[in-house]
Amino acid sequence: MVCTLDGWLGEEDVERGIRLLLRLKNVMTFRTRKFRAYVGDHDLFGRVLVFEEDGRRTVQIAERFDSYSEILVHTAMCAHPRPRRVLIIGGGDGSTLREVLKHDCVEHVTLCEIDPDVVDIGRRVLRLSDFDDSRVCVVHADGADYVKNAFESYDVCIVDVTDPYPGTPASSLATDEFFSNVRRLLGRQGVLSFQSGSPILQPEITRRIFSLARKYFTHAYLCVACVPFYPCGLWAFTLASDSLDPRVPRRRFSANFYSDEIHASLFALPPIVKRLISCGLRGFP
């Protein structure tokens, strides 16, 4: 670990010609098994986590204004009438776990994170959630392998992973096999929530995840929300279930960005996103 006074860090993608930089103070650099990671403090967003993988830097999470974690978690949790058992794939930084544990009905959470060093950063440095909560079981495994071999049933599965570009660790989750296995673990009343990238910068990721969900689940819908610390702001989430319409909130819940009152409105898609998921990448935008 190396500490520096400050530095400009954030989203950098040379291929797409994108930079979104934040001036971070007290930057710490870590080596994990999969990434180089940076954690620093920002005056507006609080503590920020940045990953570097194959020369591409991406903002993972920020402590404040975290609409990403709220929409990813609460939309699925409130679509289910009583989610007691929850599976989180990824989410080693702790932000998704933090939001799940806000629901009093939760009795058990399995957090499956392939990289134990990310959990260590989440536990010791970010401190966004209580990994030692008695309801939490942390498993270090590839998410695709876990859902293939697991026999437990879950009410909600939340997939909070890095963007599944081909050849990256998360690419094994944007597959037919993964979706088929998740459907088996969830059963008919289970709800899946899968972060689906930027429909502007990553239309191929948004389209693929949604298409797989529609293939394996009776009800599959895309919702979008503004995430202030992600490039282009607009972010997509795929919600799916075999028997429950995830557009309908079944419990009352309110956070900073999510509420049961705005639940249904999250699924009102801009026409450009409708075209993306209806006709594919051809003709987009």
| Lowest mean pLDDT, pick from 45-49, 162-166, 252-256 | 162-166
pLDDT digits (tens, 9 = 90+) for 179-224: 999 999 997 899 999 999 999 999 999 999 999 999 999 999 999 9
pLDDT digits (tens, 9 = 90+) for 102-115: 999 999 999 999 99
Q: What percent of the chain has pLDDT over 70?
A: 96
Contacts of 240 (CB under 8 A, 6+ apart): 191, 192, 194, 213, 214, 216, 217, 219, 220, 221, 246
- Dihedral over Cα of 183, 186, 190, 196: its sign: negative
3-state secondary structure of 273: helix
Q: Judge whether residue 242 has pLDDT over 70.
A: yes
Q: Could you tell me where the DSSP H helices lie in the chain?
A: 67-79, 95-100, 116-121, 143-149, 176-186, 203-216, 271-279
Q: How far apart are the C-alpha atoms of 81 and 96, rounded to whole Å? A: 19
pLDDT at position 281: 55
Contacts of 64 (CB under 8 A, 6+ apart): 44, 45, 46
pLDDT at position 172: 83
Q: Judge whether residue 278 has pLDDT over 60.
A: yes
- Dihedral over Cα of 224, 196, 54, 90: its sign: positive
35 within 8 A of 170, measured Cβ to Cβ: no
> Cα 214 to the chain's mean position, in Å?
18
How many other C-beta atoms lie within 10 A of the C-beta of residue 57?
Answer: 20
DSSP state string for 196-231? ---TTT-HHHHHHHHHHHHHH-SEEEEEEEE-TTST
- Take residue 74 and report the two structure tokens written for it: 């609460």
Residues with a known catalytic role: 160
160 within 8 A of 90, measured Cβ to Cβ: yes
Q: Judge whether residue 171 has pLDDT over 80.
A: no
138 within 8 A of 111, measured Cβ to Cβ: yes
What size, in residues, is the chain? 285
pLDDT digits (tens, 9 = 90+) for 24-81: 999 999 998 888 999 999 999 999 999 998 778 999 999 999 999 999 999 999 999 9
Q: Judge whether residue 283 has pLDDT over 60.
A: no
pLDDT at position 13: 81
